[in-house]
Amino acid sequence: MLRSDRGTKYNLKKFAKLCEEEGVERQLTVEYAPKQNGVSERKNRTILEMAKSMLKEKGLPNKFWA
């Protein structure tokens, strides 16, 4: 199963055909609604927090934090 928003990355006809051929069920959520995909949002937040911790540990100036 693949869950994604209705953004352009996963809405190509060629990709839809591939999923159908391989038996991958697709669930489309509302575009720009991160609350519908809580697992990936939490993972993204965890990765961002880890990166910020590494930047702070190495003492890099804030200009590199963006």
Question: Which segments in the chain show pLDDT lower than 50?
Answer: none
Q: What is the pLDDT of residue 9?
A: 67
pLDDT of residue 34: 66
Quote the pLDDT of residue 23. 93
d(CA 2, CA 19): 9
What is the spatial distance between Cα 43 and Cα 39, in angstroms, rounded to a whole number?
Answer: 6
Question: What's the predicted TM-score (pTM) here?
Answer: 0.46
